[in-house]
Amino acid sequence: MQYRIDQKSGNSLSALGLGCMRFPMSLGRIDLAKSEKVVLSAIEQGVNYFDTAYIYPGSEEALGTILDRNSMRKKAFIATKLPLASCHKAEDFDKFLSESLSRLKTNYIDYYLLHSASDLKQFNDMSALGLQDWLNAKKKEGIIKSIGFSFHGTRDEFLSLLDAYPWDFCQIQYNYSDPNYQAGVTGLKKAAELGMPVIIMEPLLGGKLVGGLPKKAVELFANADSNITPAGWALDWLWDQPETTVVLSGMNTVEQIQENCALASKSAPGMLTPENREIYVQVNKLFQESYKIHCTGCGYCMPCPKNVNIPGCFAAYNTSYVMGFVTGIQQYATSTNIISDRKSTAGLCVECGKCESHCPQKLQIRQELKKVERRLEPWPVKAALAVAKRVMK
């Protein structure tokens, strides 16, 4: 494993961190036995940064249980997050932190983030509730070791937030598909200039830079180096940059851990050649031509009161451009249970708008769902489904 130094705390952090939002599931719940194998395998191979959040269902409990029962707490830096959007009064800060500590079976958090800080106004509103004093006090007591924020807003808001508090670190979405999206490369460099470790999330854009690449793009990578997978290319792009500290990956099998740890151990700042860089440009051009709706599949917009499977609809829509119309329709039919009474299709949207305020990618979900419906439920498909339903009855 390669390690990068957090200059603020002196911690030596693994270049690859485990994103714990998507632990292996079974029967709708986190599969603790499988998750344990993943976490222990990661630790064995040198991963020491584990990212979870109060709002990831079951994740803090699972991580806490695994570390506790294997006596691994001291081998892991735990990062978890305060659900800012649910904080309405000063007591909420203590309430959420206490619950996180209890779920994680620990008495301190190594890296504590304000979850999805959106802009300076929100931070100032929280500060008026006493947030800054509270953070300072928790740090002084040793309950929080490093204070940071995760971010999905605009670059300018990011730069304003950097100046608003003496942060110890930050976490941004960043990958080769758009180096200027959200905080972007400008935000990355500015944070690094301030001596802050930068944790990278969505390095694979919710898997789109693996499963969502057009065939020609995959071939371009393979022709350049057949030993590196598209995931490896995406991670290398980040590790090449000296400002990157930890790249989070939501690995949920031991095989993925092994593959990514092997890549991380070979990685180094400045590792890419000019020829490699040109490959990313060509791949990204093909990707942008086929990738229509920039949904990462995070699920923050769910549940929808009308049961629309929002990320499922968007994934199928993108697939219909990347892999062909028929494959997209098949994926749509499966992910929305289109012929059942509990279907979750785009057409069920009543445009209440509840989902949009939760979307970190700021997608116009209502408008995008209309596009999905037009493309994946055209009238011949609707007619065929009506017939299929009658036959099934």
Residue 336 sits in the site that holds ligand SF4 (CB under 6 A): no
Q: Give least dist CB 207 to ligand SF4, A.
A: 12
Residue 359 sits in the site that holds ligand SF4 (CB under 6 A): yes
Closest CA to 246 of 3, 1, 16: 16
Which one of residues 297, 330, 370, 385 is an interface residue with ligand SF4 (CB under 6 A)? 297
In angstroms, the CA 13 to CA 1 distance is 10
Q: Residue 305: is the preceding peptide bond cis (ω within 30°)?
A: no
Nearer to ligand SF4, 139 or 343 (CB): 343
Residue 376 sits in the site that holds ligand SF4 (CB under 6 A): no
Closest CA to 75 of 83, 67, 86: 67
| Residue list 86-145, contact with ligand SF4 (CB under 6 A) | none
For residue 307, the one-letter residue type is: N
Question: 230-239 and 274-290 are packed helices; what angle lies between their axes, rounded to 10 degrees?
Answer: 120
| Residue list 304-323, contact with ligand SF4 (CB under 6 A) | 304-306, 308, 310-311, 314
Q: Give least dist CB 316 to ligand SF4, A.
A: 13
Which one of residues 17, 64, 203, 299 is an interface residue with ligand SF4 (CB under 6 A)? 299
Residues 217, 285, 359, 299: what is their CA dihedral angle, to the nearest 10 degrees?
0
Could you tell me the end-to-end alpha-carbon distance of the chain, in angstroms, rounded to an integer? 58
Q: Give least dist CB 346 to ligand SF4, A.
A: 8
Residue 183 sits in the site that holds ligand SF4 (CB under 6 A): no
Nearby residues of 15 by Cβ (< 8 Å), 6 or more positions away: 1, 2, 3, 4, 239, 244, 245, 246, 247, 264, 267
Nearer to ligand SF4, 271 or 350 (CB): 350
Residue 30 sits in the site that holds ligand SF4 (CB under 6 A): no
Contact positions vs ligand SF4 (CB under 6 A): 295-301, 304-306, 308, 310-311, 314, 349-355, 358-359, 361, 363, 365-366, 369
